[in-house]
Amino acid sequence: MAKILNVRGRRVWDSRGRATVEAEVIVGRGATPLASGRAIAPAGASTGSGEAKNIDVRKAVEHVNGVMRKALLTARVEDQAAIDRKLIELDGTRDKSRLGANAIVAVSLACAHAAAAAAKKPLWRYLAGNKPVALPVPQIQIYGGGAHARGSVDLQDYMLVCIGAGSFSEALEWTAEVYRAAGARLAKRNRLAGVADEGGWWPAFKSNEEGLAELVGAISDAGFEPGRDCAIALDVAATQLLRGGRYHLSLENRSLSAEQMQAMLLRWLEAYPIVSIEDPFAENDVAAMKAFTKAAGDKVQIVGDDYFVTSEQKLRAAGGACNTVLLKPNQVGTLSETLACWNASRELGYRAIVSARSGETEDVSIVHLAVGWGVPQLKVGSFSRSERMAKWNEGLRIEEALGGKQLIYPARRLFGRRKS
């Protein structure tokens, strides 16, 4: 049993050059420091209105070094549930806006790291206990749009899922090929405007559908079979598109009713090898989300991000909307609440994906959570920029550490081998 001897907060910088909170937790047996853990809060750009709220970073750091430190001194670091309960009580608001979600998530995660370090285990192993684990199946962004590329395309993420890959490392090998092929295709047609917030190509497409056709082309160019080896996942991030009850596609200069949006998505599902669609409708468009899930939920993952904001309560009240939940620790604030949402998803028969934010850092905690908790999918952004690559590379290290002793890599179980 290790006790918390000190908690320290500091102001550091994220992948967008914006300030964020780092927390460090030092633990020991008796008064002698034994181990420490560290974590950095990420930040979203396309956020759901129900998310836990970040506050001014200087203020958040003050809270870490002041009231939060005081409340946690001498606490048993292994008792994550009690630590998180204490943080929630100390904050006392529904949206974590007093202490700040950025302060709370950094401290909550740093405690988990410190507990693992005190047990002399990597975090994923500490969380998994003796349970066998597998690496998650990645969703990797190829083109970035929406709020992450000033609306270059209306859809936020065009992602690759290597459904036919036999391992995590093979999925990354294939992704590297497709990512490069996609960039080369854009450059050749003079449509490459740079990279977006999460490292995906910033495209100059003429329509949103062009991104789908281009991604299929890039998969083929890289020597893979679309729909058999590699498939597509989309994050529409539709909350960002809804104004006055209609979904605005600025790139195409038109706006759609929810029914027209559904018709467009269903047509795309027929025409392209899509296995997953996130936030296809806005966070408050409950009727549309339910109707779409009814129409397509048996064929494709329908993922709630803004729609569920990692809330166990919202997931339990879903009433048939979506079939998959995105798990973002900073969206809800603490590790225990994220775990509760994951546990509820299993109980309710929903799939789950652990996800990074668009504002990230070298922090690799989410990879450990996905592996340690056994969440079979992981979304981190694209295949460039070190805040993303740090996470993919951490997955490779874990895969190596597991050697032959891992569960079967879940890609084929989740997505089967589909016909093109």
Residues that bind ligand 2PG (CB under 6 A): 44-47, 156-157, 198, 235, 237, 305, 355, 357-358
| Identity of the amino acid at 341 | C
How many residues bind to Mg ion according to rule CB under 5 A? 3
Give yes or no for residue 399 binding Mg ion (CB under 5 A). Answer: no
Helices 335-348/365-373 angle, 10° precision: 40
% helix, strand, coil for the chain, step of 5: 40, 20, 35
Whole-number minimum distance, CB 54 to ligand 2PG, in Å? 12
| Identity of the amino acid at 109 | L
Name the nearest CA neighbour of 411 among 205, 268, 229, 238.
229
C-beta of 205 vs 307, nearer to ligand 2PG: 307
Q: What span, in angstroms and rounded, lies between the C-alpha atoms of 191 and 189?
A: 5
Of the listed pieces 110-118, 167-175, 275-283, 408-416, which binds Mg ion according to CB under 5 A? 275-283
C-beta of 278 vs 394, nearer to Mg ion: 278
157 binds, among Mg ion, ligand 2PG, none (CB under 5 to 8 A by kind): ligand 2PG
396 binds, among Mg ion, ligand 2PG, none (CB under 5 to 8 A by kind): none
Give yes or no for residue 305 binding Mg ion (CB under 5 A). Answer: yes
C-beta of 14 vs 22, nearer to ligand 2PG: 14
Phi, psi of 12 (to 5 degrees): -125, -175
- Residue from 14, 197, 229, 235 in contact with Mg ion (CB under 5 A): 235
Phi, psi of 165 (to 5 degrees): -70, 150
Residues labelled catalytic: 198, 328
Q: According to the 3-state scheme, what is the secondary structure of 87-102?
A: HHHHHCCCCCCCCCHH
C-beta of 15 vs 262, nearer to ligand 2PG: 15
- Residue 287: how many other CB atoms lie within 10 Å: 11
Give yes or no for residue 214 binding Mg ion (CB under 5 A). Answer: no
Give yes or no for residue 312 binding Mg ion (CB under 5 A). Answer: no
C-beta of 47 vs 338, nearer to ligand 2PG: 47
Phi, psi of 198 (to 5 degrees): -105, 15
- The binding site for Mg ion (CB under 5 A) comprises 235, 278, 305
